[in-house]
């Protein structure tokens, strides 16, 4: 029975890590093999007899530490060159003068969720450079991109982020009190779920989807615990951002909630599409496809 529970727990860990990071599940299995072969933490009697190391808690803690060390090694040193060989490159961890783009949260990068094709990379660089001409403080803040390997492997919960050609980016926000634009910052650590909901009289797509039975449509908004807002949508700069994106020849379409398309005065832009009720709402971020 104990063995079955152990196998189930390991299977669960592999599945969860694969869904969240793509390579994490494989690293977990690799770590199990290495730890088993080398008995890495239990070689010396003195170590094993140490009150902490010898305890169940101590063993679990050391194994987790060992796993994270191996995971970091694979993520930072093995994955990038292999991904490049397969046709995907990682987006930068820091914004630079030449390429003002940054992750909303570096944990996205630690989870290998920041890979795109070289074509998407070049497209973003063009857009970011173009944006800087309108305002030197402009920065693109990216959320989920794609995993490093295999076309058709979705980056959940975004089913379409499976080929390196998709990217979510944050709106531009301004401080509620001072009205100062907060370039380079999204609205929360996650970046999803804090929605610019329809105002009175605006078309309410979310309500229509929910009434049709698509309960997942607003799930991120419902799950979000970050209730107190310090910033709000900066319509002027968000509109500039969207305009620059859709003007780029490589961009096929972007997803944005219908009421925001109208609110920002972008009704006539054919590249801005509605994504359908089977997806999640898009009044908390912009989805780009090339």
Q: Which of 163, 168, 257, 284 binds Zn ion (CB under 5 A)?
A: 168
Quote the least distance from Cβ 144 to Zn ion, whole Å.
6
Pattern 132-161, binding to Zn ion, x per CB under 5 A?
Answer: --------------------------x---
Nearer to Zn ion, 114 or 287 (CB): 287
- Minimum distance between the CB of residue 237 and Zn ion, rounded to whole angstroms? 20
Q: For Zn ion, give the closer residue by CB, 158 or 259.
A: 158
Which of 89, 279 has the CB closer to Zn ion? 279
The residue (of 158 and 244) whose beta carbon lies closer to Zn ion is 158
Query: Least distance in Å: CB of 279 to Zn ion?
Result: 8
How many residues line the site for Zn ion (CB under 5 A)? 3
Q: How far is the CB of 284 from Zn ion (least distance, A)?
A: 11
176 neighbors 231 (Cβ within 8 angstroms): yes
Binding status of residue 287 toward Zn ion by CB under 5 A:
yes
Confirm or reject binding of residue 289 to Zn ion (CB under 5 A). Answer: no
Nearer to Zn ion, 161 or 185 (CB): 161
For Zn ion, the closer of residues 168 and 196 by Cβ is: 168
Q: Does 282 bind Zn ion (CB under 5 A)?
A: no
Binding site for Zn ion (CB under 5 A): 158, 168, 287
């Amino acid at each position: 029975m104990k063995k079955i529970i152990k196998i189930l727990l390991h299977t669960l860990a592999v599945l969860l890590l694969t869904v969240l990071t793509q390579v994490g599940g494989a690293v977990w299995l690799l770590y199990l093999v290495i730890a088993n072969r080398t008995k890495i933490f239990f070689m010396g009697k003195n170590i094993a007899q140490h009150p902490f190391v010898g305890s169940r808690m101590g063993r679990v803690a050391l194994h987790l530490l060992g796993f994270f060390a191996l995971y970091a090694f694979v993520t930072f040193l093995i994955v990038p060159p292999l991904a490049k060989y397969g046709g995907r490159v990682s987006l930068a961890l820091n914004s630079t003068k030449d390429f003002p783009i940054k992750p909303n949260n570096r944990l996205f990068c630690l989870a290998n969720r920041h890979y795109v094709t070289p074509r998407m990379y070049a497209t973003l660089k063009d857009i970011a450079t173009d944006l800087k001409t309108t305002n030197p403080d402009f920065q693109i803040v990216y959320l989920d991109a794609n995993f490093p390997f295999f076309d058709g492997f979705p980056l959940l919960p975004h089913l379409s982020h499976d080929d390196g050609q998709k990217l979510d980016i944050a709106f531009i926000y301004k401080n509620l009190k001072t009205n100062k634009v907060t370039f380079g910052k999204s609205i929360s650590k996650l970046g999803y779920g804090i929605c610019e909901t329809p105002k009175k009289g605006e078309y309410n797509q979310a309500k229509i989807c929910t009434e049709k039975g698509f309960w997942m449509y607003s799930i991120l908004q419902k799950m979000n615990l970050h209730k107190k807002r310090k910033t709000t949508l900066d319509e002027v700069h968000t509109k500039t951002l969207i305009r620059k994106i859709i003007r780029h020849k490589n961009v096929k379409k972007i997803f944005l909630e219908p009421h925001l398309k109208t609110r920002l005065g972008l009704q006539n832009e054919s590249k801005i599409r509605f994504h359908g009720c089977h997806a999640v709402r898009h009044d908390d971020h912009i989805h780009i496809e090339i």
